[in-house]
Amino acid sequence: MTGTSQTVDDGAYDHLHEGMTVPKAELPATTGETLDVVAPSAFTVIFLYPMTGIPGQPMPNGWLELPGAFGCTAESCAYRDLIEDFARSDATVYGISTQTSSEQAEFAERERINYALLSDSEHRLVYAMQLPLLQVDGPSRIKRATLIVDGKRVVREIMYPIPDPATNAQQALSAVERLSSG
C-alpha cells in the first residue's frame, strides 16, 4: 500500500504560532473519560491525524492520493512504542482525530495503543483553533500536524507538514527533550 507524503507546506497551519494559548477543550477519550486536550504535565504532545482504517471498511475514495492522509497507524504505533520515553520527560501524548470514540476505541484495542486518543467528532477543537481539514468522500478529517504545549497551555512548537508520519513520534520526543533542557 502506498500513499502520497505531505512534504510541501501549504500554509494550512500558518494561523497557529508558538506562544499562542490553546483553548480549553474537553473531548471524549478512549480511556472512557472526557479529557482536556492539555494535560496537567510539563508538556502535552498533541498529534493531530486524519483517521485510522476500520477493518472491513474501504478507505474513502481518493484517500491514498491525498497529501498527508496516509500513515496514521504507523504514526500512532510509533507514539505507542515511545510512550515511556515521553513519560520520563513529563510529557503526555494525545492523538486527536475527528473519528468517533467507538472507532478510536476499536483501533486502540487492536493496536494496543497505551495513551489516550481523543475524539473531536463534534469539531470542538477544530472550530476553537480553526484547524485545517481534509475534504474527502465522507466526513472531513483533520490535517496531520503535531503541537507541543507546555503546562500553561502555551504552544511551544508546531510540526507541520509531517513528511513521514512513522518518524513523527521520535521528532516530537526530541523536541520535548530539547524544550525540557532549555
- Predicted pLDDT of residue 181: 92
What is the fold, at CATH topology level, of the domain defined by 26-181? Glutaredoxin (3.40.30)
- Summarize pLDDT for 93-127 with one digit per residue, the tens: 999 999 999 999 999 999 999 999 999 999 999 99
pLDDT band at 50 (very low <50, low <70, confident <90, very high): very high
C-alpha cell recorded at residue 155: 504552544
pLDDT, tens only, 151-166: 999 999 999 999 999 9
